[in-house]
Every structure is written in C-alpha cells, then in structure tokens.
Amino acid sequence: MINPTSVFEQIKNAVSDAVGYSVYVAEIPEDKSLEYYENGLMKPFVVLYFGGPIRASQDHHLNDSSRDTTILYVTVESYAARAWDAVQAKGHLVDVLTHITGDNFTRPVLSGSMSYSRASNTVRPTQYIEAFSIITYSNLSS
C-alpha cells in the first residue's frame, strides 16, 4: 500500500511505547501546555516530523507506480529541561527506532543528527533539543 499513514502510525506508537511522556506529530497542539515536575523542571516530550513517500530509484514498476518501493523520512526531536536529559532520551530513541520492525517497511536507518537549544526569558524555560532522522523503505508488499 503506497499510503504511508500506517507506517507512520507504527513508528509513532513505537516511540510512545518506549517513553513515559508525551509524543506529538509536527508540533505541540494549541490546546496542550508544557508539563512540569513538582521541582519545576519541564517534563520531556518528543515531536515527530514525517516525510515522504518518495519513489525509490531502485524499484520501479513499468505499468503502475503505486507498486513502487517508497522512501519515508522521520525526524525525531527530543525535548528536555536539561541538556544531558535530552542526550539520554535521544540515545534511547535511536536504539528503539533503529530496531523497530513492523508491517510493510524496512528496519529504519539513521540519516542525520543535530543538537540545539532555545530559550525564552518571558514564557517558557530553556529547552534542550536533540534531533535525529531516520529513513525506511515502504510499500514492500505490492
């Protein structure tokens, strides 16, 4: 099936099952607020960004492109109140996502990584973000 929604859902579910905190797609919804521990530290959370499908160059069907293998991208951002907490969460999620197996996609492969922080003196605390990307091939059962 060329529609990548079920693969994205399997990946989101794997992340949700692996962490004990909120997982969002694309952004924190407007009706959600940051959550805090009793000591005032922001609770960690994850934001997933999905990309694709893109037609894989190695597998083309002559009569029906809906049967072509596709490439899917996922960028994972792990947010935390302390830099080392974000690093540890990233490491855990890298391990989880490079070992996930599911229906109609290959085991994901790392494709990039970065770290950054953002601060606000007026609204939110400093957020430490560790990000990485994976790719997987899908539409394998066509």
Domain containing 38: what range? 5-138
- CATH number for the domain that contains residue 94: 3.30.2000.10
Once rounded to an integer, what is the mean pLDDT over residues 24-41?
Answer: 92
What is the predicted pLDDT for the residue at 123? 64
**pLDDT at residue number 54:** 87
**φ, ψ at 135 (rounded to 5°):** -125, 150
Residue that has been written with the tokens 């080392």 in this structure: 84
| Count of residues making up the chain | 142
pTM of the model: 0.90
Q: How many domains does the chain have?
A: 1
